[in-house]
Amino acid sequence: MTKYDPASTKAVEFINHEEILETLDYGRANAHNRDLIKSILEKARKAKGLSHREAFVLLSSKEEDLNEEIFNLAKELKHKFYANRIVLFAPLYLSNYCVNGCVYCPYHGQNRTIPRRKLTQEEIKEQVIALQDLGHKRLALEAGEDPINNPIEYILESIKTIYGIKHKNGAIRRVNVNIAATTVENYRKLKEAEIGTYILFQETYNKKQYEELHKFGPKSNYEYHTEAMDRAMEGGIDDVGMGVLYGLDSYEYEFVGQLMHAEHLEARFNVGPHTISVPRIQPADDIDPDDFDNSLSDDMFAKVVACIRIAAPYTGMIVSTRESEAMRDRLLELGISQISGGSKTSVGGYTDDETVGSDQFELSDNRSLDEVVDWLISKNHVPSFCTACYRKGRTGEVFMGMVKEHGIGNICHPNALVTLKEYGVDYASPQTKTDIDKLIERELPNIENEGIRESTRENIKNVEEGIRDLYI
Ligand code: SF4
Ligand code: SF4
């Protein structure tokens, strides 16, 4: 039996199989233990987070009224830490060459039917200009793992290209990077290239299942993959984003594993994950979700999101266009703080219709960015294109310290209004522009600090007069 040690450097000790199984037994045995569930809810109200065991008891609760309290608390915590802003971003697929064998992804090395493509620097410019013209300021770079086609030099050059493109009033101000697990040295290079968050999905925390689903390629090494966030932190990247692909193994196992991973980062580096993503498996070329028998219902998925929000209240949570409009609507209430909008999940997809059929997964939400912005406003959220923290040095421990202490809504909210104003002036359709202006008028008085309220008003005026990139 392997010992459980959250501060260990070994994957099998900090994501400990026996501890997960015991946690699952404990949660299921207490599904009707009202006193215990209530006491955990009481602790959660203090907004300091929960352990994986406590969080799993909430997830397992079969008490209707207490479940209602769980959902309400998730909503409260979301507001407390992040106010009502929702940050928008877009994925940018650089290359779908991949040597790995992930059976749930159409880019796996043995798929001979999918067209392979890697963007040149010139093509990256075209994609980025198209993204800037939509209004995006924040990207998540995606690339398969292929040491010949997508070496680290290619990724670094692409980041430089992206940051260097200034087209009209557009600029990509934050590039987050989702590439395969790599070495400390390469993480250091990514840090020097000024990436925002390094994102790596674990896919599944169940080692046995992981090895079944990844039979070849570098990613088949569970330990190397699971310890990647440690190497990223050692390389100086202090904002890391994690996620599992719900549907590969039981959602219960993944939920507990994910929180243990967050606890491990806290224990070793004093910084939890900057973001947690919650993708669910979707159809794609060569992929049928029915081949995976661990799918979870919409209701349970919503509860997973709510319980992660409660367990890690300081962490940003992301849902992508894999989910439908209706599901995103529901999840936004429960704790999601970032969403993608107007996304294309194929290489070259922002300029090129011919890429249809080469998507990494099918989108359930195909609306344009403008439609998503206007929809968010109609749901009383404040769409945000803010990228301020990274540029103000609010990263890693500094960022987490701030969020844990007071939440960051008092900074997010004004920045959201100013960046939304930029979007309104530069890119929005007439209807959305009108709705943005109404929302800003409605929201400005909600900024509690008078000084910040007045400087935000001033900045909004400055944006109208042509000044860009204002933030606190
Ligand atoms: Fe390659 Fe990533 Fe797809 Fe796996 S999930 S096949 S590593 S692109
Ligand atoms: Fe994100 Fe910081 Fe901007 Fe808030 S202020 S939206 S946390 S970058």
Tell me: pLDDT of 319 over 90.
yes
Tell me: pLDDT of 78 over 70.
yes
Going by pLDDT thresholds of 50, 70 and 90, the confidence category of residue 329 is very high
For residue 87, give the ligand nearest its CA: 2
What is the number of the ligand 1 atom nearest to the C-alpha of 101?
6
pLDDT of residue 355: 59
Tell me: pLDDT of 356 over 60.
no
Which letter does DSSP use for residue 290 in this model? Answer: G
d(CA 77, CA 337): 11
Give the distance (Å) from ligand 1 centre to CA of residue 374.
Answer: 33
Mutate which of 314, 387, 418 for ligand 2? The one with the most ligand atoms within 8 Å of its CB, which is 387
pLDDT of residue 287: 74
Report the nearest-CA residue for atom 6 of ligand 1.
Answer: 108
What is the number of the ligand 1 atom nearest to the C-alpha of 105?
3
pLDDT of residue 354: 60
Give the distance (Å) from ligand 1 centre to CA of residue 144.
Answer: 5
For residue 98, give the ligand nearest its CA: 1
Strand 85-95, strand 316-319: pairing: unpaired
Angle between helical axes of 17-29 and 251-269 (0-180°, round to 10): 120
Give the distance (Å) from ligand 2 centre to CA of residue 353.
Answer: 33
What is the number of the ligand 2 atom nearest to the C-alpha of 316?
7
Ligand 2 neighbours by CB, cut-off 6 Å: 85, 87, 384, 386-389, 408, 411-412, 415
Q: Which of 261, 285, 283, 282 is closest to 273 using CA atoms?
A: 261
Give the distance (Å) from ligand 2 centre to CA of residue 387.
Answer: 6
Over residues 70-75, mean pLDDT: 97
Looking at every residue in the chain, the average pLDDT score rounds to 95
**Residues 36-57 as b or e (16 or more Cβ within 10 Å = b):** bbeebbeebeebebbbbbbbbb
Over residues 136-148, mean pLDDT: 98
* Highest mean pLDDT out of 120-124, 319-323, 357-361: 120-124
Give the distance (Å) from ligand 1 centre to CA of residue 107.
Answer: 6
Ligand 1 neighbours by CB, cut-off 6 Å: 98, 100, 102, 105, 107-108, 144-145, 180, 219
Q: Which of 340, 391, 396, 327 is closest to 369 using CA atoms?
A: 340
Tell me: pLDDT of 364 over 90.
no
Give the distance (Å) from ligand 2 centre to CA of residue 390.
Answer: 8
Structure tokens at 341: 């909008």
What is the number of the ligand 1 atom nearest to the C-alpha of 109?
6
Report the nearest-CA residue for atom 5 of ligand 2.
Answer: 412
3-class DSSP assignment, residue 219 = helix
Least confident interval from 32-46, 64-78, 320-334, 435-449: 320-334
Give the distance (Å) from ligand 2 centre to CA of residue 87.
Answer: 8
Report the nearest-CA residue for atom 8 of ligand 1.
Answer: 144
What pLDDT digit, counting tens, does each position of 11-65 carry? 999 999 999 999 999 999 999 999 999 999 999 999 999 999 999 999 999 999 9
Using a 10 angstrom Cβ sphere, with 0-12 exposed, 13-18 middle and 19 or more buried, the burial of residue 205 is buried
Q: The pTM is what?
A: 0.96
What is the number of the ligand 1 atom nearest to the C-alpha of 99?
1
Give the distance (Å) from ligand 2 centre to CA of residue 458.
Answer: 19
d(CA 374, CA 424): 10
What pLDDT digit, counting tens, does each position of 9-22 carry? 999 999 999 999 99
Give the distance (Å) from ligand 2 centre to CA of residue 175.
Answer: 14
pLDDT of residue 407: 80
